Chain A
């Protein structure tokens, strides 16, 4: 049959689909934590020259990815250089999937527009807290399919690529998830917990 749990994109396919039905919303009500605490975002210090994004766009991507997977008790998107990975990927999309480049440039432009409408400043200029609030608004349809938001599509793209970039990085996969596989063992003990057996 399939490759066990390795097909990442397959699981990402379902991201956010849960709110689409009554069953899904009930499910979420039972399983979602009630409040989310924002973490402060540190300013970027990098000498990286982006391949695709303009410098200002790139620092927006850095801030956004760090909002999705923040640095808290464990490393986040910044340490994993997710923004660089996205820059690299979007740049490489010129060959077979130029539409992806437009999705990003359009998405970032939209973000600026939304930021100006709400805060009268570009996304680059608003505070970390304001960025967080804007992203939260963009994400609302994910929890409530009755809502719409012009930035939702871009939010989903951002989230999907950030999650993918983070959990395929050494930082995300090994340090944060502590994936222990793809190694050589002499024995495979399987489940050794009496409480699971009976």
Chain B
């Protein structure tokens, strides 16, 4: 086994969480080694931002059947534009317990999934951190409150650049110094008009996309192709924004192609002393030593590392004296969107509706305090309108020939689809473990197995309510809705907003992490990705991941300063 010099902190992963952790710790003067499983990316060669479907051999879809049967929520991600970035499940499988479904989206490269993420940048609200005590008595509160996290939301926004508005929305806080919001498209304006009639607020969606020059980064040029990677870095990714800042620092080192396998323990102190990792280019295992280990490998990978570190002393995995590690996995309640068209927009000339990729408006949660309902908590709605890179709603009509072609053209500018996320609930019985069947990855590291279902009572109940509400809003906006079937809630992971698995809490018997993201059992091992989540509100999660990674890293740096590590 090879060895390397000692560091203050070893950060595992360079995505949303790891990028922030490495940045905060490095800027605080600590000696940081970031181990990243994937390779370095070069946006000019790895991102095909401006490539049209007909410039690919298979129009972007790959050879028929090339990617295997992709799980729900992954079909639209893996294309010829991106298949060299994402891990294709058929090539690197994970295990599922009988009857279980899980959509595990992996992107092993510097920057992780921030390279291709949707950029929606919500803050959680005060009620979201205290669902049990402030909402309905169900589940658990977080050991921290909105006030604890607020300063870190501010700092993250300042660092990454977020456009939006500071409009007041109940329990949906927004930053006070955001870049200007983007201009909404025709269909979005129609929905706003319709929702207002129902007393429902429609607001600009906070997006980690620049509407102005910021921090020497160019503004968005409205090509709409962010899901294939932004060629100019106008949206936030840790690759484009933090890695350049970090590479100028002498106390920062990034080692790529270096998936971490286990955490090394010092028996005498009960503390971690480093990690083992594989060099994927030669397949050999190495060790790296540090005074603290910060796991930010995306929660499933972080949990896998802790579980693969089990030995005689920690038979059920490192830091798992509570037995809750891997449990309470969560995801939004999500399902098929409702589709239709605006007769008011039919037959108009084609407009360029790409904008900043995402929609510019959305409907934040508005249902509070209702009694007698079969579901808990609330939902948000997102909607997508206008001319896209496909035939649009007209293609769904029956028939063929000139009339069919004309229908497609006529409805092309009129497209609308609306979908939503409901709050997903934590259950002990939704969990991930090391595969008891012995599955290993290509580096011979034991792989995980999911034991998860999204089909629980609350999910169906909130889904039905959401369908009804979406129909009302669309109708109030004058849209025609295609008849649709109610699909079962999509599998956990299908929104790529998986969370939980090593939740934080004050009680070490029922949680894995403390309020500073440190393992109760091993205080110099931190998990700073979404593993720490206690609940899963309707809001998108990555801003909260980053704010908590900022907060935990800040605290760790303070501990170093005080000599407590």
- Please give the residue numbers on chain A whose beta carbons come within 8 Å of chain B beta carbons, in ascending order: 1-12, 14-21, 23-24, 27-28, 31-33, 35-39, 67-70, 72, 74, 76, 85, 89-90, 92-93, 95-97, 100, 132, 135, 139, 142-143, 159, 163-165, 167-170, 172-173, 176-191, 193, 196-198
> In the bound complex, do residue B59 and residue A164 qualify as a contact, i.e. CB atoms below 8 Å apart?
yes
Q: Indicate whether B358 reaches chain A with its CB closer than 8 angstroms.
A: yes
Chain B residues with CB under 8 A of A167:
390-391, 395, 408
Give the distance to chain B from A35, nearest Cβ to Cβ, in Å: 8
> In the bound complex, do residue A100 and residue B75 qualify as a contact, i.e. CB atoms below 8 Å apart?
no
> In the bound complex, do residue A67 and residue B50 qualify as a contact, i.e. CB atoms below 8 Å apart?
no
Q: Which partner residue on chain A sits nearest B51 by CB separation?
A: A182
> In the bound complex, do residue B387 and residue A92 qualify as a contact, i.e. CB atoms below 8 Å apart?
no
Give the distance to chain A from B114, nearest Cβ to Cβ, in Å: 16
> In the bound complex, do residue B185 and residue A190 qualify as a contact, i.e. CB atoms below 8 Å apart?
yes
Chain B residues with CB under 8 A of A90:
64
25 interchain pairs, CB-CB under 8 A: A2-B384, A4-B359, A5-B384, A6-B389, A6-B390, A8-B391, A31-B397, A33-B403, A33-B406, A36-B399, A36-B401, A67-B401, A72-B405, A93-B65, A97-B65, A143-B399, A168-B60, A169-B54, A173-B53, A181-B353, A181-B388, A183-B222, A188-B355, A190-B184, A190-B185
Chain A residues with CB under 8 A of B184:
190-191
> In the bound complex, do residue A2 and residue B58 qualify as a contact, i.e. CB atoms below 8 Å apart?
no
> In the bound complex, do residue A18 and residue B223 qualify as a contact, i.e. CB atoms below 8 Å apart?
no
Chain A residues with CB under 8 A of B52:
170, 173, 182
The DSSP consensus for interface residues of chain B is loop
Give the distance to chain A from B315, nearest Cβ to Cβ, in Å: 41
Interchain CA distance A31-B400 in the complex, whole Å: 15
Q: Indicate whether B189 reaches chain A with its CB closer than 8 angstroms.
A: yes
Give the distance to chain A from B412, nearest Cβ to Cβ, in Å: 6
> In the bound complex, do residue A185 and residue B417 qualify as a contact, i.e. CB atoms below 8 Å apart?
no
Give the distance to chain A from B468, nearest Cβ to Cβ, in Å: 15
- Cβ contact of B360, chosen from A3, A67, A159, A190, cutoff 8 A: A190
Q: Indicate whether B221 reaches chain A with its CB closer than 8 angstroms.
A: yes
Chain B residues with CB under 8 A of A8:
389-391
B317-357 contact mask (Cβ, 8 Å, vs A): 1 or 0: 00000000000000000000101000010000111111111
- Cβ contact of B387, chosen from A18, A37, A176, A179, cutoff 8 A: A179
Q: Indicate whether B93 reaches chain A with its CB closer than 8 angstroms.
A: no
Not counting A5-B386, A67-B400, A182-B52, a sample of 5 additional A-B residue pairs whose C-beta atoms are within 8 angstroms of each other reads A1-B495, A17-B396, A89-B58, A184-B223, A190-B183
> In the bound complex, do residue B358 and residue A4 qualify as a contact, i.e. CB atoms below 8 Å apart?
yes
> In the bound complex, do residue A178 and residue B350 qualify as a contact, i.e. CB atoms below 8 Å apart?
yes
The DSSP consensus for interface residues of chain A is loop
Give the distance to chain B from A81, nearest Cβ to Cβ, in Å: 10
- Cβ contact of B390, chosen from A11, A33, A97, A132, cutoff 8 A: A11
Q: Which partner residue on chain B sits nearest A34 by CB separation?
A: B403
Give the distance to chain B from A175, nearest Cβ to Cβ, in Å: 11
Chain B residues with CB under 8 A of A164:
59
> In the bound complex, do residue A173 and residue B65 qualify as a contact, i.e. CB atoms below 8 Å apart?
no
- Please give the residue numbers on chain B whose beta carbons come within 8 Å of chain A beta carbons, in ascending order: 50, 52-54, 58-61, 63-66, 68, 75-77, 118, 120, 182-186, 188-190, 193, 220-225, 227, 337, 339, 344, 349-360, 382, 384, 386-393, 395-409, 412, 415, 417, 419, 421, 480, 482-483, 495
Give the distance to chain B from A96, nearest Cβ to Cβ, in Å: 3
Q: Which partner residue on chain B sits nearest A142 by CB separation?
A: B398
Q: A6-B76, A76-B405 are in contact. Are A15 and B59 (CB under 8 A)?
A: no
Interchain CA distance A10-B336 in the complex, whole Å: 10
Give the distance to chain A from B360, nearest Cβ to Cβ, in Å: 7
Chain A residues with CB under 8 A of B227:
3, 6
Interchain CA distance A34-B505 in the complex, whole Å: 64
Q: Which partner residue on chain A sits nearest B118 by CB separation?
A: A1
Interchain CA distance A139-B20 in the complex, whole Å: 56
Q: Which partner residue on chain A sits nearest B349 by CB separation?
A: A178
Q: Which partner residue on chain B sits nearest A135 by CB separation?
A: B400
Interchain CA distance A92-B415 in the complex, whole Å: 33
Ranked 10 nearest A-B pairs via Cβ: A5-B388, A190-B183, A97-B65, A96-B65, A181-B354, A142-B398, A8-B390, A7-B76, A180-B352, A168-B53
Q: A4-B224, A14-B482, A23-B483 are in contact. Are A72 and B402 (CB under 8 A)?
A: yes
> In the bound complex, do residue B193 and residue A143 qualify as a contact, i.e. CB atoms below 8 Å apart?
no
> In the bound complex, do residue A185 and residue B480 qualify as a contact, i.e. CB atoms below 8 Å apart?
no
Interchain CA distance A64-B359 in the complex, whole Å: 38
- Cβ contact of A27, chosen from B193, B384, B483, cutoff 8 A: B483
> In the bound complex, do residue B398 and residue A28 qualify as a contact, i.e. CB atoms below 8 Å apart?
yes
Interchain CA distance A176-B404 in the complex, whole Å: 13
> In the bound complex, do residue A182 and residue B50 qualify as a contact, i.e. CB atoms below 8 Å apart?
yes
> In the bound complex, do residue A165 and residue B59 qualify as a contact, i.e. CB atoms below 8 Å apart?
yes
> In the bound complex, do residue B186 and residue A191 qualify as a contact, i.e. CB atoms below 8 Å apart?
yes
Q: Which partner residue on chain B sits nearest A197 by CB separation?
A: B189
Give the distance to chain A from B2, nearest Cβ to Cβ, in Å: 40
Chain B residues with CB under 8 A of A165:
59
> In the bound complex, do residue A181 and residue B223 qualify as a contact, i.e. CB atoms below 8 Å apart?
yes
Chain B residues with CB under 8 A of A23:
483
- Cβ contact of A32, chosen from B349, B352, B382, B397, cutoff 8 A: B397
Interchain CA distance A162-B119 in the complex, whole Å: 34
Chain A residues with CB under 8 A of B183:
188-191
Chain A residues with CB under 8 A of B404:
36, 68-69
Chain A residues with CB under 8 A of B408:
167, 177
- Cβ contact of A168, chosen from B54, B186, B419, cutoff 8 A: B54
Q: Which partner residue on chain B sits nearest A27 by CB separation?
A: B483
> In the bound complex, do residue A188 and residue B182 qualify as a contact, i.e. CB atoms below 8 Å apart?
yes
> In the bound complex, do residue B190 and residue A196 qualify as a contact, i.e. CB atoms below 8 Å apart?
yes
> In the bound complex, do residue B396 and residue A15 qualify as a contact, i.e. CB atoms below 8 Å apart?
yes
> In the bound complex, do residue A70 and residue B402 qualify as a contact, i.e. CB atoms below 8 Å apart?
yes
Interchain CA distance A85-B84 in the complex, whole Å: 23
> In the bound complex, do residue A180 and residue B63 qualify as a contact, i.e. CB atoms below 8 Å apart?
no
Most buried by A among B64, B183, B225, B396: B64
- Cβ contact of B407, chosen from A20, A33, A37, A132, cutoff 8 A: A33
> In the bound complex, do residue A18 and residue B396 qualify as a contact, i.e. CB atoms below 8 Å apart?
yes
Give the distance to chain A from B543, nearest Cβ to Cβ, in Å: 15
> In the bound complex, do residue A179 and residue B482 qualify as a contact, i.e. CB atoms below 8 Å apart?
no
Chain B residues with CB under 8 A of A89:
58, 64
